[in-house]
Amino acid sequence: MLCLKLLCIAVGGFLNRIRGGLFDFSGNKLLFPLFLSLFGGNFEVMVCAFFAAYVGQQFGWGTYIGALYGAAPTQAEVSEIDEIVNAVKITLGKKIFYLRDYPCLWGFAALALRGLLWSFLIGLALHDVILMFAGLLMPLCYSFSYFIDKFLLKLGGKAAWNFGEWLWGGLLTAFVLW
């Protein structure tokens, strides 16, 4: 049974990478939501899970990943998330530090909220509170992939981003399974 779950996690990672553009074909964004919905148990839950996963992937997160990797945010992404992370500030004595002045931290926080948006919808459909909050781990997947590429693989380009799609898809699938 564990081998089957691990295989499903790997398939989930692969399908999320396809969703991210591994193969460019019509319908590539349907495969991952369809796969996740298969674990719904009954038809009604499967339909809800499909739409939750499909809608959850529609909002952007490219600016957040770019910022996480050190690029200054250049455009708005999800206005509600941008509004939250741009408003975060820490006051130490008389000095005020805004999160937006630290692209990596800004990207991490924004990506966590973006992942939360995605997983929360799926968790609602599957009646799973832990799954609802699994998206908060999204920036860890992309951070880990960045460090793997930077210090081990040294491929550069979009390799870290692409590897992050594998990790995030696998992690999200694992939360759906367990």
Q: How many domains does the chain have?
A: 1
- Report which of 13, 45, 47, 48 is spatially closest to residue 32, judged by C-alpha positions: 13
Phi-psi region of 154 (alpha: psi -120 to 50; beta: other; left: phi over 0): left
Question: For 2-23, what is each residue's pLDDT tens digit?
Answer: 999 999 999 999 999 999 999 9
Question: For 46-66, what is each residue's pLDDT tens digit?
Answer: 999 999 999 999 998 999 999
Q: pTM for this one?
A: 0.92
The tens-digit pLDDT sequence of the chain (178 residues) is: 899 999 999 999 999 999 999 998 889 999 999 999 999 999 999 999 999 999 999 998 999 999 999 988 878 899 999 999 999 999 999 999 999 999 999 999 999 999 999 999 999 999 999 999 999 999 999 999 999 999 998 898 889 999 999 999 999 999 999 8
